[in-house]
Structures are given as structure tokens and as C-alpha cells.
């Protein structure tokens, strides 16, 4: 009886070592490769926008399509910190008082202006901040959540961020 129990345990351990561990390692490697790809896609997008000085419909659409081509779904958040050259203008002479300050516009306003005007213009000195996070559970994350259920349920396996100063 004891030998049968030990044999069953040994078979289960061998199955885990032969199939589950390599599958988990492959899934985690896929997540790392996708993470790298998403960061590259994001960097290309922000560099293109900074070089052109605007976010066009086609540039934004291509960015979203390229992200989705990785096989995951993403939440994209964009913030543009626009420079306010003269926050304290007085009278007709428009004297500059103090330093320049920034105000932010966010994803919904930016997307609305892209849809309505075909582009979102940026000026020299503006900051473009783009964050991308996956919204689906990848295979690697699903396996980790299954085997490591004590540590919690992670859903974010792929996350990228890029900030660039517009110099055009």
C-alpha cells in the first residue's frame, strides 16, 4: 500500500516537472518578449509624435493597432503637459510674471480632439506622457495566479511608460 502511494506521488511530481514547469517558463518568457515589444512600440510612437509635433489620427490608430497585434488588450492613458507661457498676464502689455507653468490634458480630451480635428497639436516645451497596461490575463499570469494563489491575483503582466519633451 505504501509503495503504491509513493509511486503515485512520484508520477505526479514527474508530470509537473516534465510538463507544467516548462509550460510556465515558456508563458513567462512570452510575457517578457511582449513587454519588450510593447515598450518598443510605445517608444516609437512617442518619438514620432515628438518629431512631428502632433498626434494624428493615423499615427494614433496605427499605434493602437500595433499594440493589439501583440495578442493582448491594453488600456492606453495619455497626458500632455502643455506649457502656459504667460500665466500671469497683466493688462495690454502682457508682461510675463513668474515662471512658466504647465497644465495637463488627458486621454479623453486628446482623443476627442483627434477625432474632431484629425490631429492634436503639440508645441515646443510640452511633455507627452503615455502609459500602456494590459487589461487581459495572459497565459503566464493565469498560470502564476493558479499556482501561487496565496500571493494574490495579478492581472498586469505587461506595462510600459514613456515620457518625452516635445522639441519641435
pLDDT tens readout for residues 19-50: 877 888 888 889 999 999 999 999 999 999 99
In this predicted model, what pLDDT tens digit does every residue of 67-123 receive, in sequence order?
999 999 999 999 999 987 665 554 444 555 556 788 999 999 999 999 999 999 999
* Whole-angstrom distance, CA of residue 51 vs CA of residue 118: 17
From CA 144, how far away is CA 155, in angstroms rounded? 10
pTM: 0.78
| 30: containing domain | 2-165
Domain count, the chain: 1
**For the chain, first and last CA: distance in Å?**
78
Buried residues in 19-48 as b, exposed as e (16+ CB within 10 A): eeeeebeebbeebeebbebbbebbeebbee
* pLDDT for position 153: 64
Amino acid at each position: 500500500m505504501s509503495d503504491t502511494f509513493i509511486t503515485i506521488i512520484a508520477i505526479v511530481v514527474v508530470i509537473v516537472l516534465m510538463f507544467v514547469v516548462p509550460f510556465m517558463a515558456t508563458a513567462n518568457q512570452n510575457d517578457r518578449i511582449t513587454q519588450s515589444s510593447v515598450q518598443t512600440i510605445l517608444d516609437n510612437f512617442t518619438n514620432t509624435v515628438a518629431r512631428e509635433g502632433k498626434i494624428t489620427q493615423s499615427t494614433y490608430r496605427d499605434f493602437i493597432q500595433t499594440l493589439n497585434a501583440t495578442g493582448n488588450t491594453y488600456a492606453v492613458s495619455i497626458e500632455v503637459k502643455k506649457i502656459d507661457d504667460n500665466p500671469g498676464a497683466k493688462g495690454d502689455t502682457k508682461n510675463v510674471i513668474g515662471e512658466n507653468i504647465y497644465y495637463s490634458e488627458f486621454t479623453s480630451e486628446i482623443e476627442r480632439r483627434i477625432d474632431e480635428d484629425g490631429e492634436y497639436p503639440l508645441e515646443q516645451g510640452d511633455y507627452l506622457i503615455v502609459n500602456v497596461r494590459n487589461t487581459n490575463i495572459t497565459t503566464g499570469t493565469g498560470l502564476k495566479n493558479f499556482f501561487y494563489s496565496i500571493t494574490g491575483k495579478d492581472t498586469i503582466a505587461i506595462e510600459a511608460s514613456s515620457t518625452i519633451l516635445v522639441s519641435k
